Structure 1
Amino acid sequence: MPEGSSTPWSYLLIRLLFKFVLKIFYGTIVVENTEFIPKTGQPCIVCANHSNSLTDALLLATSVPSRARNMLRLTAKSTQFGHRTFTSWLIESAGTVPIKRRKDFADGTPDNSEAMDKLMEALELGDAICLFPEGMSRYHPTIAPLKTGVARIVSDVLTRNRHNPDFSISILTCSITYMHRQHFRSDVLVTFNPPMTFTPKDNPELLAPVDYNEVRSLTARMHQQISARTIDAPSWDLVRCAKLATRIYVPLGTRMSLGDYVRVTRTFVEAFKASEDAQNKLGNGATPGDDVSPEATNEDVELAQLRRDLKRYQDQLVRWGIKDDRIRRPLSRRTILTRLLIRLTWSCTLLLLSLPGLALWTPVFITTFVAVHNFKKTGPIWDTWDEIAQYKLVYGLFSGLGVWAAAVLLTLPFAPVTMVLVPALMWMTLRWLEDAVSAFRAFTALVRLLRVGKGTLGSMRATRADLHRRVVGLAVGTLGLPEDPETYFLESGGREKGRVRSRWESGAKYFSVRRRRKRDWNETLRLYDKVDYPEEGQ
Structure 2
Amino acid sequence: MAALAGSPTPWAYMFIRLLFKFVLKIFYGTIVVENVDNIPPRGVPCIVCANHSNSLTDALLLVTSIPSRKRNLLRLTAKSTQFGRKTFTSWLIESAGTVPIKRRKDFGDQQVDNSNAMQFLVEAVELGDAVCLFPEGMSRYHPTIAPLKTGVARMVSDVLSRNRHNPDFEIDVLTCSITYMHREHFRSDVLVTFHPPMKFTPKNNPELLTPIDYNEIRSLTAKMHQQISSGTLDAPSWRLIRNAKLAARMYAPLGTSMSLGDYIRVVRTFLEAFKLAEAPRADASSDGEAPPPEQVAREDMKIVQLGRDLKEYQDQLARWGIKDDRIRRPLSRPVILYRVLLRAAWALVLLALSLPGLLLWLPVFATTVIAVHQFKRTGPVWDTYDEIAQYKLTYGFLSGLCIWLFTTLVTLPFAPLTAVLVPAVMWLSLRWMEDAIAAFRALASLTRLLLIGKPALAQMRSRREDLHRRVMELAVSTLGLPGEPERYFAESGGREKGRVQGRWASKAKYFSVRRRRKRDWNETLRLYDQVDYPGD
Taking structure 1 as the reference length, the TM-score comes to: 0.96
Once the 2 structures are TM-superposed, how far is the Cα of residue 427 of structure 1 from its aligned partner? 0.7
**Counterpart residue type for residue 336 of structure 2:** I
Q: Which runs of 5+ in 2 are unaligned?
A: none
Q: Is the 8 A contact 1:500 1:515 kept in 2?
A: no
CA distance, structure 2, for counterparts of residue 517 and residue 27 of structure 1: 10
Match of 2:489 in 1: 489
Match of 1:36 in 2: 38
CA distance, structure 1, for counterparts of residue 478 and residue 419 of structure 2: 57
Match of 1:428 in 2: 428
CA distance, structure 2, for counterparts of residue 455 and residue 508 of structure 1: 38
Choose the corresponding residue for 1:135, options 134, 137, 142: 137
The answer to whether structure 1 residue 354 and structure 2 residue 357 are counterparts is: no
CA distance, structure 2, for counterparts of residue 509 and residue 498 of structure 1: 9
Q: Which moved more, 1:157-166 or 1:498-507?
A: 498-507
CA distance, structure 2, for counterparts of residue 499 and residue 164 of structure 1: 47
Q: Tell me the secondary structure at the aligned position of residue 75 of structure 2.
A: coil
Q: Is the 8 A contact 1:5 1:125 kept in 2?
A: yes
CA distance, structure 2, for counterparts of residue 187 and residue 259 of structure 1: 11
Q: Is the 8 A contact 2:27 2:187 kept in 1?
A: yes
Q: For 1:491-530, list aligned pairs within 5 A.
A: 491-496=491-496, 498-501=498-501, 511-514=511-514, 516-530=516-530
Match of 1:378 in 2: 378
**Counterpart residue type for residue 445 of structure 1:** S
For these two proteins, the number of residue pairs brought into alignment is: 531
Q: Tell me the secondary structure at the aligned position of residue 144 of structure 2.
A: coil
**Counterpart residue type for residue 373 of structure 1:** H
CA distance, structure 2, for counterparts of residue 419 and residue 312 of structure 1: 52
Once the 2 structures are TM-superposed, how far is the Cα of residue 106 of structure 1 from its aligned partner? 2.9
Q: Is the 8 A contact 2:500 2:517 kept in 1?
A: no
Choose the corresponding residue for 2:213, options 186, 211, 218: 211
Match of 1:293 in 2: 293
Q: Is the 8 A contact 2:29 2:515 kept in 1?
A: no
Q: Tell me the secondary structure at the aligned position of residue 495 of structure 1.
A: coil
**Counterpart residue type for residue 360 of structure 2:** L
Q: Tell me the secondary structure at the aligned position of residue 98 of structure 1.
A: strand
Residues 402 and 515 (structure 1 numbering): CA distance in 2 closer, same or farther, change over 3 Å? closer
Task: Deviation per CA, 1:125-145: give whole Å up to 9, x if none.
Answer: 100000000000000000000
CA distance, structure 2, for counterparts of residue 521 and residue 164 of structure 1: 48
Taking structure 2 as the reference length, the TM-score comes to: 0.97
Residues 171 and 509 (structure 1 numbering): CA distance in 2 closer, same or farther, change over 3 Å? closer
Once the 2 structures are TM-superposed, how far is the Cα of residue 523 of structure 1 from its aligned partner? 0.5
List, as ranges, runs of 4+ consecutive aligned residues in structure 1 with deviation greater than 3 Å: 286-292, 499-512
Match of 2:5 in 1: 3
Q: Is the 8 A contact 2:177 2:193 kept in 1?
A: yes
Choose the corresponding residue for 1:264, options 237, 242, 266: 266
Residues 229 and 160 (structure 1 numbering): CA distance in 2 closer, same or farther, change over 3 Å? same
Q: For 1:86-485, list aligned pairs within 5 A.
A: 86-106=88-108, 108-277=110-279, 280-281=280-281, 286=283, 293-485=293-485
CA distance, structure 2, for counterparts of residue 57 and residue 509 of structure 1: 30
Residues 43 and 534 (structure 1 numbering): CA distance in 2 closer, same or farther, change over 3 Å? same
Once the 2 structures are TM-superposed, how far is the Cα of residue 517 of structure 1 from its aligned partner? 2.1
Match of 2:532 in 1: 532
Once the 2 structures are TM-superposed, how far is the Cα of residue 70 of structure 1 from its aligned partner? 0.5
CA distance, structure 1, for counterparts of residue 158 and residue 509 of structure 2: 58
CA distance, structure 1, for counterparts of residue 511 and residue 496 of structure 2: 21
CA distance, structure 1, for counterparts of residue 189 and residue 506 of structure 2: 21
Q: Is the 8 A contact 2:260 2:499 kept in 1?
A: no
Q: Tell me the secondary structure at the aligned position of residue 251 of structure 1.
A: coil
Q: Which runs of 5+ in 1 are unaligned?
A: none
Q: Is the 8 A contact 2:509 2:516 kept in 1?
A: no
**Counterpart residue type for residue 449 of structure 1:** L
Q: Is the 8 A contact 1:255 1:498 kept in 2?
A: no
Once the 2 structures are TM-superposed, how far is the Cα of residue 511 of structure 1 from its aligned partner? 4.1
Match of 1:82 in 2: 84
Once the 2 structures are TM-superposed, how far is the Cα of residue 506 of structure 1 from its aligned partner? 6.4
Once the 2 structures are TM-superposed, how far is the Cα of residue 177 of structure 1 from its aligned partner? 0.2
- Percent identical residues: 73
Once the 2 structures are TM-superposed, how far is the Cα of residue 288 of structure 1 from its aligned partner? 7.4
Q: Tell me the secondary structure at the aligned position of residue 190 of structure 1.
A: strand
Once the 2 structures are TM-superposed, how far is the Cα of residue 499 of structure 1 from its aligned partner? 3.6
Once the 2 structures are TM-superposed, how far is the Cα of residue 502 of structure 1 from its aligned partner? 9.5
